[in-house]
């Protein structure tokens, strides 16, 4: 990344002159200011906002990792964040956290902001509607370490830490089948997300492996509690209806649970339900939710460990490290 010192050496001026020109100081000539500013623009120079603020404070500069989460309200992302922070702290790093709010445009701005603040690396889970990846590639091209967690971007060659989504879903659906379920519905996220593809494939393969037909009518794009409460009754309108649901996350599963109970169905006697997360809500519903535990703390620790490995040179920047955190099925009262 270009610094003010690089600009000064290229133009044969002092660093102080470059600094004054970039801050539009009248202490140097207008011609000199324009010359320096034009050179900075042409070479995509970004001022180190963080370093500048620390330079004028009595606070000792710290090593900072930028972290982007889709939404802080989700239990899973908050546990990942805790894991990142604890691992970073153990190595003398601090974290700067921002949420994309599941919006591509905000995610792009956050990447640019982290670059301008000269964080030592970025850990990110991409937003649901992200379909273009130039903002991630720009960080990589600038030599900034980048690590994806949970929702990975297959469009760029970067390190990643994920859970075994496929096997987690496969084992969950196998449990439903082994406890007598034969018409298992699937509520999942949009297939633009790699985790959605992996969980759907685990669901589908479990059906086929146990000799059960795949019925497209039993699948829906639905990954929130609100949508689950609206969509679930639709699956009971025909002659063939589910005797079980596998949901992409716990909130969706809980939406299914409360909806079928309002419809007068018994859980798990009439309908079995399995989620994916194992957050606090899984044990606050009645009956308590059978779910796949994602181990968010471990995901966060591994993501921070990989990022720090890149920063400190233990892992080459041109090597995409890939780590998988194993899931486990937690059986509770919503399955037989």
Q: What is the pLDDT of residues 138-149, one digit of tens each?
A: 999 888 999 999
SS3 159: strand
Q: What is the pLDDT of residues 113-164, one digit of tens each?
A: 999 888 999 999 999 889 899 999 999 988 899 999 999 988 899 999 999 9
Q: What is the pLDDT of residue 62?
A: 56
Q: Is the pTM of this model over 0.85?
A: no
| Burial letters 142-170, b for 16+ CB under 10 A, else e | eebbbbbbbbbbeebebbbbbbbbbbbbb
Please state, in angstroms and rounded to a whole number, the distance separating the CA atoms of residues 331 and 324. 22
Q: What value does the mean pLDDT take over residues 168-194?
A: 96
| Burial letters 307-335, b for 16+ CB under 10 A, else e | bbbbbeeebebeebbebebebebbebebb
Mean residue pLDDT across the chain: 92
């Amino acid at each position: 990344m270009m610094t003010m010192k690089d600009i000064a050496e290229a133009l044969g001026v002092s660093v102080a002159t470059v600094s004054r020109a970039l801050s539009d100081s009248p202490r140097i000539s207008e011609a000199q200011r324009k010359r320096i500013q034009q050179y900075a623009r042409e070479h995509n120079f970004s001022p180190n906002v963080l370093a500048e603020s620390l330079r004028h404070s009595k606070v000792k500069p710290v090593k900072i990792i930028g972290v982007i989460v889709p939404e802080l309200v989700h239990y899973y992302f908050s546990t990942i964040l805790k894991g990142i922070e604890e691992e970073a702290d153990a190595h003398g790093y601090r974290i700067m956290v921002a949420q994309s709010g599941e919006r591509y445009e905000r995610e792009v701005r956050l990447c640019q902001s982290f670059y301008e603040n000269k964080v030592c690396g970025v850990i990110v889970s991409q937003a649901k509607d992200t379909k273009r990846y130039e903002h991630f590639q720009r960080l990589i091209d600038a030599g900034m370490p980048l690590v994806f967690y949970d929702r990975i971007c297959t469009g760029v060659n970067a390190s990643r830490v994920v859970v075994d989504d496929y096997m987690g879903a496969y084992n969950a659906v196998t449990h439903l089948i082994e406890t007598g379920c034969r018409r298992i519905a699937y509520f999942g996220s949009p297939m633009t997300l790699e985790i959605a593809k992996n969980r759907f494939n685990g669901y589908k393969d479990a059906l086929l492996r146990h000799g059960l037909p795949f019925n497209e009518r039993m699948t829906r794009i639905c990954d929130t509690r609100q949508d689950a409460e609206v969509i679930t009754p639709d699956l009971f309108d025909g002659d063939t209806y589910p005797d079980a649901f596998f949901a992409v996350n716990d909130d969706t599963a809980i939406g299914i649970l409360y909806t079928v109970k309002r419809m007068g169905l018994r859980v798990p006697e009439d309908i079995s339900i399995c989620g994916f997360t194992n957050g606090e809500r899984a044990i606050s519903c009645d009956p308590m939710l059978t779910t796949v535990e994602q181990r968010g703390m471990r995901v966060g620790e591994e993501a921070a460990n990989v990022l720090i490995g890149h920063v400190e040179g233990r892992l080459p920047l041109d090597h995409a490290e890939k780590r998988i955190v194993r899931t486990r099925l937690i059986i509770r009262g919503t399955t037989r």
